[in-house]
Amino acid sequence: MTTDTSTADTPPSPAAADAPPAQFTHRQIIVTMSGLVIAMLLAMLDNMIVAPALPTIVGDLGGLNHLAWVTTGYILASTASTPIWGKLGDLFGRRIVFVSSVVVFLAGSALAGMSQNMGELIAFRAVQGLGAGGLMVGVLSIIGEMIPPADRSKYMGLMMAVMPVAMIGGPLAGGFITDNFSWRWAFYVNLPLGAIALVVCWITLAKLPRGTGKARIDWLGAGLLTVWITTLVLITSWGGTEYDWASPQILGLAVVTVVTFVAFVIVQRRVAEPIMPLRVFSNLNFTLSGGLAFISGFAMFGAVTFLPQFQQFVQGSSATNSGLLLMPMMIAAMVVSLASGAIIGKTGRYKVFPIAGGILLTIALGLFATLGTDTSKTTTAIYMVILGAGMGCLMQTSTLIAQNSIELRDIGAGTGVATFLRNMGSSLGVALLGAIYTSSLTDSLSGVGGAGAVAGNQMTPAMLRELPEAARHTFQVGVTDALGMMFVVAAVVAAAGIVIALFVRQVPLRGSVPAEAHLVE
């Protein structure tokens, strides 16, 4: 095993690796969690809150052809920076690195709100994404260092419940802010919330180890990681839509992806302090949990992103109401996440949850593949409950398995890898399933007058309402057929998660600290 020069000249003993470095009372944990919840909410909320404001932003700043990069730039920067922040936390200590990521995120938020053109907005959104990567991995790493695995699930369930809140609350808040204030406040709203998280975490995290900071950062590995992630997402985004799969552009991107990925692996094996230590993959459970994280991100976020298409184009809901219609999924995810965390904390057994989560996800996505123009809102709500229950079973459990499979000295890098894989799944899921949806919709409407002329991204719900009944029905059938094909692919991917979950070994959760040590005030 590679020596970690940031902690000692030799690897720590298993006991030292498993024991938490500092003891926190229940009151301290709750106070700290309040700041961490705000930070996690900021990171997740910001990717959703901007969506309702995008039409207004384009009207104000122009640059319609670069609109997708307002979101893509944020996701790419967040994904690429996640393992970097995780490793920095291992080297320099969680507190200073986490606070730094909050500062970067707030700076990006302020600059994005002041953008004067689309180029500036995309650049500042990337700055936001850089900070958001540190927020997400920092929160999970801090929980991993504060609380031993046997007690962690109770708190991790609360943190995972933030995700559906952000997914639903983001579009609702973004729409309200845009309608009643200015799209710039979709970014400025982060500042007071971030300031609270900054102060709370700076005070409450003082007991965490500060790190030595003596090791060198693997900047070459970070650069190679960024390149192959970016080119891979571009391939899935542009292949079959912007460019033919056999075009020189796509083939060129594929070559760059393969070459930089191979170079990245070689560099990670040779440098003293790799940005993504490959030794964590030597543990089978960690590798399996990474696969679960990737699949859950791909199937859930890739598919859920497109549910509003059905709600608005076929069921006739407004943008705000389509967010409200996702409430059954959010509530189910929150309830199951909290319940599973409590059960794992009490019994110490977790293998059943990723299996159940994979089954529920596959069933839900398969049901969504049967959507038709006459499917009622009640029916889709039932499907969403099943999907949310699958999310609640899978999300926090995959992170818990990953953290329980690695030594404490690698908790930041390991959590960064797990979060990176989930983000990669989300990025590729949105890109690939979006390409399938757009291509299928365009093909089904090709040659159709009226609706076909404005198919795909050119259609809006308002435009659809102005079409003749026959043309409107044709477009709605095209939407349901395209979504059906997309959900079939997502269901197949989710089914692969069931197979992976079956191979997870039930390993006892490490290091439950006696109640009087850290859960008694």
pLDDT in tens, 32-55: 777 777 777 777 777 667 766 766
Which of 20-24, 116-120, 238-242, 262-266 shows the lowest mean pLDDT across its residues? 20-24
How many Å apart are CA 100 and CA 104, to the nearest integer?
A: 6
Domain ranges, ordered by start, for the chain: 13-214, 219-270, 280-510
What are the φ/ψ torsions at residue 41 (nearest 5 degrees)? Answer: -65, -40
Percent over 90 (pLDDT), the chain: 10
Instruction: Tell me if 406 sits within 8 A of 414, measured CB to CB.
Output: yes
What are the φ/ψ torsions at residue 266 (nearest 5 degrees)? Answer: -60, -45
* CA-wise closest residue to 57 among 235, 184, 156: 184
* CA-wise closest residue to 219 among 267, 259, 278, 253: 267
- pLDDT at site 338: 78
How many Å apart are CA 473 and CA 465, to the nearest integer?
A: 10
Say whether 280-510 and 13-214 share the same fold. Answer: yes
Task: Give the C-alpha distances (Å, rounded to integers) separating 128 from 39, 86, 101, 297, 406.
Answer: 13, 17, 9, 21, 29
Q: What is the pLDDT of residues 169-226, one digit of tens each?
A: 777 777 777 777 878 888 888 888 888 888 887 877 776 666 655 556 778 888 888 8
For the chain, how many helices (H) and strands (E)?
Answer: 23, 0
pLDDT at residue 247 above 50?
yes
- pLDDT at site 107: 93
- pLDDT at site 4: 37
- pLDDT at site 140: 74
CATH number for the domain whose boundaries are 13-214: 1.20.1250.20
- HSE on the CB side for 412, CA within 13 Å? 29
Confirm whether pTM is higher than 0.85.
no
Beta-carbon contacts of residue 498 (< 8 Å; ≥ 6 apart): 355, 358, 359, 362
Helices (H), 369-410: 377-404
280-510 carries CATH number 1.20.1260.10:
no
Instruction: Tell me if 208 sits within 8 A of 95, measured CB to CB.
Output: yes
- Provide the token pair at 503: 């191979």
User: Which residue type is seen at 98?
Assistant: F
- pLDDT at site 520: 33
Instruction: Tell me if 490 sits within 8 A of 302, measured CB to CB.
Output: yes
Instruction: Tell me if 4 sits within 8 A of 498, measured CB to CB.
Output: no
Task: Give the C-alpha distances (Å, rounded to integers) separating 310 from 322, 366, 374.
Answer: 9, 15, 11
